[in-house]
Amino acid sequence: MTRLRLMATETPTRSDALLSVLSHYPSVLIVMHDNPDPDAIASGWAVHFLIREKLGLPVRLVGGGDIVRAENREMVKLLGPPLELVEQLDESEQAAGVLVDCGPSESNHLLCASPVRPVAVIDHHQGTWRPEQLPFQDIRPRVAASATIVASYLQEQKLCPDEDLATALLYAIRTETQGGEFSHTQLDRSIIAWLSELANPERISEIENAPLPREYFADLVLALQNTFTYGDAAICFLPTAQSAEIVGEVADLLSRCDDVDRVLCAAMIGPDLVLSVRTGKDAGNAAELVRRVVRGMGHGGGHEHRAGGKIPNVGLAGQSIELVHNELRSRWREACGFSQQRGTRLVAKRDIVGNL
């Protein structure tokens, strides 16, 4: 297959610019964030398809960590994206690194400790880095999902995804608009309409109703017992958790409580303290909240109403986890305007244990 050539009379699109940058490299490495979610997987898969069809270059789709959320595992099982989960990269320095659904300044992807340097980034998160440092960047925080951006590339290049890829892209957009993220741009709406003609709705239903392990319900009970409210703000410290995914799931669930507009949920995952923050439609910016809460302790970011963070190596630094919890609770209460208010349990232990 020949490399990309643009007619002089054509107006270059964003996908043209991406392909032009990548055409100068012998191979491409598409990197998702660690523990990739549906948006990262679908977006990376679509870029993989785009490069293979338009450039014919050797291309890999990789991520670190694991896929632990039940729905995400079911998605991979049913749709079969060409992804690889690895502990580290050994690619040649000549490979072009493409980050999807994450940014170069973040520490949650494999390129942080790799000789492969990113030359392109495609993302819809609010970033704190300077995009002019890369040859190609397409960052659109107002768009609902990275999958929307990459699906538009396929349209620009007149490529039609098969049923499995279309299903993955459509499901990714659905997951990114859960919770408080209700807004869709005109591009999101047009891409959803296009993908709906190509996707398999029965597959999406199967993914959304994936079977859950018993450990999930054990974590859920602990979460309810350990959630406190301060006015319209809730905070939950899980004493144990099977995976980082449960932190976000608990935050999503608590954000649906009718008198809760802001939620922080945290749990120790290995040596790190992982956080998820959710805010209601008119309850402030979740990404700004999580950065404020972890400033000087860790890092965080995300969307206007859904964000996450991490305080690394808490379990290795000789710190008391209880002291870290107390500091985060104090910062959260202050950030939400309830520094002087006493907390109330969302569900009293007696209300759970007393009915067994």
pLDDT given for residue 354 in this prediction = 57
Per the structure block, which two tokens stand in for 287?
A: 């990404």
Same-domain status, 126 and 265: no
Whether residue 7 is contained in a domain is answered as no
DSSP strands (E only) in 156-313: 227-230, 233-238, 262-269, 272-279, 299-302, 306-311
55 neighbors 23 (Cβ within 8 angstroms): yes
Q: Which residue has the tokens 């992982």?
A: 274
Domain boundary among 191, 208, 225: 208
Distance CA 77, CA 284 (A): 37
- The residue behind tokens 């100068």 is 24
**187 and 279 share a domain?**
no
Q: How far apart are the first and last CA of the chain?
A: 65
Same domain, 67 and 180: yes
Judge whether 246 and 354 are in contact, CB under 8 Å: no
Answer yes or no: is 76 within a domain.
yes
Q: What is the pLDDT of residue 313?
A: 84
pLDDT value, residue 2: 44
Residue 147 included in any domain: yes
Q: What CATH number is given to the structural domain containing 60?
A: 3.90.1640.10
What CATH code is carried by the domain that includes residue 270?
3.10.310.40
Q: Give me the sign of the Cα torsion angle 300, 302, 307, 313.
A: negative
Establish if 9 belongs to a structural domain. no
Strand-pair category, 136-139 with 83-85:
unpaired
On whether both 34 and 183 belong to a single domain, the answer is yes
Looking at the structure, tell me whether residues 181 and 227 fall in a common domain: no
One domain for residues 263 and 322 = yes
pLDDT of residue 315: 67
Domain identity same for 96 and 242: no
Coil vs helix vs strand at 156: helix
Residue 192 placed within a domain: yes
- Count of domains in the chain? 2
Query: How much is the pTM?
Result: 0.81
The verdict on 29 and 136 lying in the same domain is yes
Question: How do strand 96-100 and strand 118-123 relate by DSSP bridges?
Answer: parallel
Whole-number Å distance between alpha carbons of 265 and 124 = 23
Comparing CA positions, the residue from 21, 25, 15, 10 lying closest to residue 50 is 15
Cα–Cα distance, 269 to 39 (Å, whole number)? 22
- 144 and 30 in a common domain: yes
Same domain flag for 162 and 234: no
Same domain for 246 and 195, yes or no, is no
End-of-domain residue from the set 174, 189, 208: 208
Tokens of 183: 């807004």
Instruction: Indicate if 67 and 158 belong to the same structural domain.
Output: yes
Q: Can you tell me the distance from the alpha carbon of 356 to that of 352, in angstroms, rounded to the nearest whole number? A: 7
Q: Is residue 125 a contact partner of residue 301, using CB atoms and an 8 Å limit? A: yes
Residue type, 165: L
Residue 8 lies in a domain: no
- CA distance readout (Å), 285 to 27, 140, 230, 292: 39, 17, 18, 11
Q: Which amino acid is at 314?
A: V
Q: Which residues of the chain have pLDDT under 50?
A: 1-3, 6-9
Length of the chain: 356
Instruction: Please give the residue range of the domain that contains residue 190.
Output: 14-208
Nearest residue to 237 via CA among 199, 275, 204, 284: 275
Q: What is the DSSP string of 285-322?
A: -HHHHHHHHHTTT-EEEE-SSEEEEEETTTTTTT--HH
In a domain, residue 6? The reply is: no
- The answer to whether residue 71 is domain-embedded is yes
Are 37 and 66 in contact by the 8 Å Cβ rule? The answer is: no
Give pLDDT, residue 180.
53
Final residue before a domain boundary, out of 208, 231, 258: 208
Tell which residue, 121, 124, 123, 104, has the closest CA to residue 112. Answer: 104
